[in-house]
């Protein structure tokens, strides 16, 4: 980790670099004691869950989560262009540039909503720009998942930044997360084109009254087509507000629009030849941490430890990969393999979609490998049943020891 990039109430963000690949990253460091003291552990867990769900070209990518006794580390994509807010603070943007950012924002929001994720704090400060001047949505700390929806089908937590918050959120009567995000997108579009907020007043209550009435005025330089679109977004009745799909069909929005392709774990990837490559190296500390119950760090994110999700083997890495591919085919799972990482893609729909299991082989020493299994998609209970009843029995002939088990069996 290198220089400090920024800091908030509970976290600091540092520039970082992967020493083996030279990839630049941003590392968000959170103090566990402070988070626990403030009762924000659930929020941290939710942020992790959300960022794993939303892999999209215009969403900041969460690459890895690590933890020590005192800290949690989010390793994220490094977006070096800074906040969109800094660009807007200098004044209004040209219409074509504002449209480009709005298209990228709506594409990301549409993808998040398709995964049941509602951001709830969309504003220029949470929109970053990369080296290609493309937009990346960040900061999912206030986001909501379907399990937070009440029996009335609505969310009830008041959150967000007042100037960008939808009127129904301020009214405390419950709101639709997707529709409130759309309102915030409308405010952002106005700001990009106008150079100032549609609803602003030194008196907060007066500002709220303007929001409740959708009381704002367009500056003369905003084009008629852009005005029509904004007027359909900033509608106080969420039932009459334009939807994401309607925005994406709007003629003003459509100009020059090319929908980005989101990363999908169901995509059929090319199986690459890995004869001349070696598996990633697993250092001694990682090995001890993951295989020893005493060093396990998963308790921060899970109520119960997932036993047996990792094993050691004295077989060669290529032999292990061959065994895993054979197992997947035998169970009628699709296979996507890249170097020493393999995805097993279920073909049947489960409770939460198709089950996707990832297995990765790491090298500890010339004669010892670690194989780590994890659920990439699908239902957790279905994954556990699959792992215990299918995977463990099928791999017993290549296993030296299972995670958390003291008795080694050399076969």
Catalytic residue annotation: 121
Consecutive H or E run containing 301: none
CA distance 206 to 194: 21
Max CA separation in the chain (angstroms) = 79
CA distance 135 to 137: 7
Q: How far is CA 2 from the centre of its chain?
A: 24
Q: How many separate helices (H) and strands (E) can be counted in the chain?
A: 14, 13
Distances in Å between the alpha carbon of 156 and those of 163, 180, 278, 336?
A: 19, 12, 51, 41
User: Pairing between strand 341-350 and 24-31?
Assistant: unpaired
Q: Which residues contact 39 (CB under 8 A, 6 or more apart)?
A: none
Q: Is the CB of residue 214 less than 8 Å from the CB of residue 234? A: yes
Task: Fill in the DSSP letter of residue 268.
Answer: -
CA distance 395 to 1: 39
Q: Is the CB of residue 193 less than 8 Å from the CB of residue 226? A: yes
Q: Is the CB of residue 291 less than 8 Å from the CB of residue 282? A: no
CA distance 246 to 248: 5
Consecutive H or E run containing 64: strand 62-67
**CA R_g for the chain:** 24
How many other CB atoms sit within 10 Å of the CB of residue 63? Answer: 16
DSSP per-residue letters across 69-103: SSEEEEEEE--TT-BHHHHHTT-PPPHHHHHHHHH
**End-to-end CA, the chain:** 42
């Amino acid at each position: 980790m290198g220089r400090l990039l920024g800091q908030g109430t509970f976290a600091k963000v540092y520039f970082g670099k992967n020493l083996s690949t030279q990839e630049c990253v941003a590392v968000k460091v959170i103090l566990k004691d402070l988070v626990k003291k403030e009762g924000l552990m659930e929020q941290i867990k939710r942020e992790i869950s959300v960022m794993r769900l939303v892999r999209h070209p215009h969403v900041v990518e969460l690459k890895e989560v690590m933890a020590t006794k005192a800290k949690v580390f989010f390793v994220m994509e490094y977006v070096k262009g800074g906040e969109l807010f800094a660009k807007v603070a200098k004044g209004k943007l040209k219409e074509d540039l504002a449209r480009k950012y709005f298209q990228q924002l709506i594409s990301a929001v549409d993808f998040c909503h398709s995964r049941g994720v509602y951001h709830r704090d969309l504003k220029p400060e949470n929109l970053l720009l990369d080296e290609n001047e493309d937009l990346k949505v960040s900061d999912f700390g206030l986001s909501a998942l379907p399990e937070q929806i009440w029996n009335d089908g609505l969310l009830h937590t008041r959150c967000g930044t007042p100037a960008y918050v939808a009127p129904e959120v301020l009214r405390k009567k419950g709101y639709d997360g997707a529709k409130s995000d759309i309102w915030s997108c409308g405010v952002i579009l106005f700001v990009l084109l106008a150079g100032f907020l549609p609803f602003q007043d030194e008196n907060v209550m007066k500002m709220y009254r303007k929001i409740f009435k959708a009381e704002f005025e367009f500056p003369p330089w905003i084009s008629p087509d852009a005005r029509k679109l904004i007027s359909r977004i900033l509608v106080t009745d969420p039932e009459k507000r334009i939807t994401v799909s309607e925005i994406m069909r709007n003629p003003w929005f459509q100009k020059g629009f090319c929908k980005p392709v989101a990363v999908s774990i169901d995509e059929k990837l090319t199986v690459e030849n890995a004869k001349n490559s070696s598996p990633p190296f697993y250092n001694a500390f990682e090995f001890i941490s993951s295989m020893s119950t005493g060093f396990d760090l998963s308790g921060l994110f899970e109520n119960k430890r997932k036993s047996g999700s990792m094993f050691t083997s004295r077989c060669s890495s290529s032999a292990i990969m061959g065994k895993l591919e054979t197992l997947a085919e035998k169970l009628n799972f699709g296979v996507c393999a890249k170097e020493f990482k393999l995805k097993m893609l279920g073909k049947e729909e489960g409770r939460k979609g198709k089950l996707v299991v990832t297995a990765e082989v790491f090298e500890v020493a010339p004669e010892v490998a670690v194989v780590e299994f994890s659920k990439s998609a699908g239902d957790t209970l279905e994954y556990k049943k699959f792992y215990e009843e299918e995977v463990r029995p099928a791999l017993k002939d290549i296993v030296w020891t299972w995670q958390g088990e003291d008795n080694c069996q050399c076969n």
